[in-house]
Amino acid sequence: MRHGLIPTVEDYLGRRARVYGGERAVLADVIPPGSDGAERLAELASLATTAGVHVLATSLQHRPRPHPGTYVGRGKAEEIRDQARDLGADTVILGSEVSPAQARNLEETTGLKVVDRSQLILDIFAQRAGTKEAALAVELAQLEYLLPRLRGWGQALTNPGAGIGTSGPGETRLEQGRRAIRRRIQSIRSALRKVSQDRIVQQARRRRVGPPEIAIVGYTNSGKSTLFNRLTGCNALVEDKLFATLDTRVRRIALSGRDALLADTVGFIRDLPHQLIPAFQATLGAVGDAAALLLVLDGTDPAVDEHLRVVREVVAAIVGPDSAPPPVLHVLNKLDLVVTPEQEARLAALQAETVPCVALSARTGRNMSTLEAALASLVVSRTSPAAPSVP
């Protein structure tokens, strides 16, 4: 046990408790007949790569719904087992969250470490959390995800040395382990309350006395940090990976001669594991009170409509039902990649759906001045109603 007497989930689940990076994996997804799973699989592959996993093969099964026992059907599970043996894979990564029983059964059928999409996302966040608050919030989410799975997977352990979760005395140790993990959850919760209170006080003060704040929000990898760097002349981490940015960062900028604060935030994704939503709220508190939101979309992504839906949903959840959301300026980014007539037509359709919007390239800087003007008028009109309107 790593932390003295406190057992970790690894003590109970072994290496299946986490995605560590370096796994050799087959990806498997189940989708309804007639639908095209290519985009889902591509996103799952970028999540896996972001976590440091080697993706060796992908496997798509069309079924009206996932198999209740093993997620993919029995035959498919055996096919994956054989494929994994041929390729030297040790892990199968599933395109949806599965029940503890499904994970256990699939593990028994294939002999592979089974990881679902929720666990993959949680582990990416854990690998990337940079501040103490983010690390605590993510550890909490991981423990809440793993706690109900201890028994299910513990029973499937084939290594007799692990000896956890078998009947008899093992059951008692499992119970002890659960209690210890619940205590850890309690202590993280109270540590988080303290850290977040400090932050809330600071943020409230900044908002009372400080310049208006603009928050950049959007799907992961849409180009938020690139745009943030353009607008601030800063060097925030830009990466062609999902969730490059985990903590909100804030910088001062000038908008038509007035000060404003610009916040870069963590990216969103569909079907975010629900345990992570409080962690998002910790870093996204600024979104609800912002003077304006810059909603960034990758205008070239075939799944952009889905991204827009997800981002609007998450923003609505953060703002809550009782407050009015901040005004939104949409940014259709990566204009430099729009070259074919089909791409142009899609961008035009998207422009009609996202009023007001500016199509630009954060990478090349094209149309940045249009954005700054649009943003200035949005923020200035909202924050200083008494000021004379400046042309």
The residue whose Cβ lies closest to ligand GTP is 267
| Strand order across the 24-31 sheet | 54-62, 24-31, 91-94, 113-116
Binder to Mg ion among 188, 215, 231, 244 (CB under 5 A)? 244
| Three-state secondary structure readout of 48-104 | HHHCCCEEEEEEEEECCCCECCCECCHHHHHHHHHHHHHHCCCEEEECCCCCHHHHH
Residue 283 binding partner per list ligand GTP, Mg ion, none, with a CB distance cut-off of 5 to 8 Å that depends on partner kind: none
Q: Does 361 contact ligand GTP by CB under 6 A?
A: yes
| Amino acid at the residue 204 | A
| Region from 93-101, 106-114, 192-200, 234-242 binding ligand GTP, contact rule CB under 6 A | 234-242
Q: Are 127 and 51 in contact (CB under 8 A)?
A: yes
**Which of 5, 169, 193, 240 touches ligand GTP by CB under 6 A?**
240
Nearer to ligand GTP, 98 or 331 (CB): 331
E-strand ranges in 187-333 read 213-218, 249-255, 258-264, 292-298, 328-333
Q: Which residue has the tokens 């094209």?
A: 366
Work out whether 121 is an interface residue with ligand GTP (CB under 6 A).
no
Is 220 a binding residue for Mg ion by CB under 5 A? The answer is no
238 binds ligand GTP (CB under 6 A): yes
CA-based nearest residue to 255, from 386, 355, 382 = 382
Judged by CB, which is closer to ligand GTP: 45, or 337?
337
Among the listed ranges 78-86, 161-169, 238-246, 370-378, the one in contact with ligand GTP (CB under 6 A) is 238-246
Closest to ligand GTP by CB, 51 or 174? 51
Q: Is residue 129 a contact residue for ligand GTP (CB under 6 A)?
A: no
Does 329 engage in binding with ligand GTP (CB under 6 A)? Answer: no
Closest CA to 69 of 111, 91, 101: 101
Q: Which of 70, 109, 245, 300 binds Mg ion (CB under 5 A)?
A: 245
283 binds ligand GTP (CB under 6 A): no
Closest CA to 328 of 302, 347, 354: 354
Interface residue with ligand GTP, options 72, 242, 295, 304 (CB under 6 A): 242
Tell me how many helices (H) and strands (E) the chain has.
13, 10
Task: CB nearer to ligand GTP: give 178 or 241.
Answer: 241
**269 binds Mg ion, rule: CB under 5 A:** no
Regarding 177 and contact with ligand GTP (CB under 6 A), the answer is: no
Q: Does 337 bind ligand GTP (CB under 6 A)?
A: yes
Asked if residue 354 binds ligand GTP (CB under 6 A), the reply is no
**Of 90, 34, 84, 86, nearest to 59 (Cα)?**
84
Burial category of 190 from C-beta neighbours within 10 Å (exposed 0-12, middle 13-18, buried 19 and up): exposed
Structural contact between residues 303 and 337, judged by C-beta atoms closer than 8 angstroms: no
Q: Are strands 357-359 and 292-298 parallel, antiparallel or unpaired?
A: unpaired
Query: What is the smallest separation between the CB atom of 244 and Mg ion, expressed in angstroms?
Result: 5
Residues that bind Mg ion (CB under 5 A): 224-225, 244-245
Residues that bind ligand GTP (CB under 6 A): 218, 220-226, 238-240, 242-245, 267, 333-334, 336-337, 361-363
